[in-house]
Amino acid sequence: MNGTLTKALLPTQQRRTLSELSDDLDLTVGDTGSKRSAFWTMLSLSAVIAAAGVMSDSTATVIGAMIIAPLATPIMGIALGIAKLDGHTSRHALKFASLGGIVVIAVGVMFSLALPESYDLLGNSQISGRTSPGLVDLVAAVATGFAGAVALARRDVAAVLPGVAIAISLVPPLAVVGICLGHGAIGLSMGAFTLFLSNLLALVLAGSLIFTTLGYTGRNETLKEGSRRRAYLTISVLMLVVIVPLLSNTALTYFVNVWTNRIHTAADAWVSDVPGASVQDVTFTSNAFYVDIQTPGTVPPVSGLIDDLDGKVPNGLEVVVTTSLGEEIQAGPVGG
């Protein structure tokens, strides 16, 4: 990044000093008692609000948790420690971030005890939207990391803005991890944890790059450049490991959408000869596609639908037809 762009990102008159930035992001310097008290108090409250918002499927409540969540502080503290090549700062920030994450997950587990065994986790949009992350989530996290680091380094940007932006990607997924764990849905909890981990790594990588570019490197920059490269290499390797499930989820989501549209089109043609019949929805749940039919009478033989889908969707996909008359017809696997 050239000097002109650096000045555009951080005008000299708005530049915060390294000491000021460290004081904000390092919970082990300055008035540590007050800092830690505020951190744990606000984190605990944000965890409760996030878990309550997730369980009630309330977007507004979850946003409230995002606003007060302080988990951004140690996350960006890790990034600053890497930029300064200060192992002490990075280690302690990682400790606070890890313990904070455990607290949020534990709160989520406790809230899950109120859920009945029959509760449909995927029927809750706050949960389903965070258990199948894709590459778009990673792109958003990287952009958030860049924005947060620049905002933290400038005096003219409200200090709360980067914290709010970063918290959006951190606390709610952890609450979902706890709720899913407590409900016994290990697979869903791992999906939410993958979202959290990918966001954390993206934030740290983006933040450390910005802090380094803006000159928050401390002393002995040349002598320690090898250490910084090793830190970036480690984060990059971890990012690659996380990207694999993100790519898989992105590909699966794409193909499910394609197959859903094809099934919807075939089902429309299938019921077109039944007066008053229409396809209300096609959804994918677990390992089957459910075709919801609104009809005043009986539907045609489902074999016609299955035959029409042959070659349009992969063989072996299960299709189930449900009607407004209360029928649930197992159409069978495509190509079976």
**Which residues have C-beta within 8 Å of that of residue 229, sequence separation ≥ 6?**
none
**CA–CA separation, 266 and 311 (whole Å):** 12
- CATH at residue 300: 3.30.300
Looking at residue 275, what is its pLDDT? 86
Q: Rounded to an integer, what distance in angstroms lies between the CA atom of residue 252 and that of residue 272? A: 30
d(CA 4, CA 2): 6
Tell me what pLDDT residue 55 has. Answer: 93
Task: Show the domain range for 186.
Answer: 3-218
Q: How far from chain centre, in Å, is Cα 205?
A: 16
* Structural domain contains residue 238: no
Any domain includes 226: no
* Residue 16 belongs to a domain: yes
Instruction: Please tell me the predicted confidence (pLDDT) of residue 1.
Output: 47
Q: Which of 218, 246, 272 is the last residue of a domain?
A: 218
Residue 84 lies in a domain: yes
> Rounded to whole angstroms, how far apart are CA atoms 205 and 79?
7
The 8-class DSSP code of residue 279 comes to: E
Domain contains 237: no
Write out pLDDT tens, residues 17-33: 888 888 889 998 888 99
Question: Does residue 322 fall inside a structural domain?
Answer: yes
Question: Would you say 285 and 303 are in contact if contact means Cβ atoms under 8 Å apart?
Answer: no
**Distance between CA atoms of 162 and 252, rounded to whole angstroms?**
32
- Judgement on whether residues 204 and 276 belong to the same structural domain of the protein: no
DSSP β-bridge partners for residue 214:
none
Check whether residue 290 and residue 163 sit in a common domain: no
3 state SS of 293: strand
Q: How far apart are CA 99 and CA 206, in angstroms?
A: 22
Last residue of some domain: 198, 218, 238? 218
Tell me how crowded residue 135 is: count the other CB atoms within 10 A of its CB: 14
Query: How far apart (Å, rounded) are the C-alpha atoms in residues 47 and 66?
Result: 9
pLDDT for 164 equals: 59
pLDDT score at 94: 94
Q: Does 130 lie in the same domain as 15? A: yes
Tens-digit pLDDT string for the chain (336 aa): 456 667 777 787 888 888 888 888 999 888 899 999 999 999 999 999 999 999 999 998 998 888 888 898 899 999 998 888 888 888 999 999 999 999 999 999 999 998 888 888 888 989 988 988 888 888 888 888 888 888 888 887 765 566 656 666 789 999 999 999 999 999 899 989 999 998 898 888 888 888 888 878 765 555 456 666 777 777 788 778 788 888 888 888 889 899 999 999 999 998 888 888 888 999 887 678 888 998 887 888 888 888 888 888 888 888 888 887 767 777 667 765
Which pLDDT does position 305 carry in this prediction?
Answer: 87
Residues 88 and 195 reside in one and the same domain = yes
Q: DSSP per residue over 112-154, as a string?
A: HTTS-TT--GGGSHHHHTTSS--HHHHHHHHHHHHHHHHHHHB
pLDDT one-digit tens code per residue, 72-106: 889 999 999 888 888 888 899 999 999 999 999 99
Regarding whether 76 and 25 lie in a shared domain, the answer is yes
Question: In whole numbers, what is the pLDDT of the chain averaged over residues?
Answer: 85
* Number of domains making up the chain: 2
Whether residue 97 is contained in a domain is answered as yes
Sign for the CA dihedral angle at 84, 86, 89, 95 comes to: positive
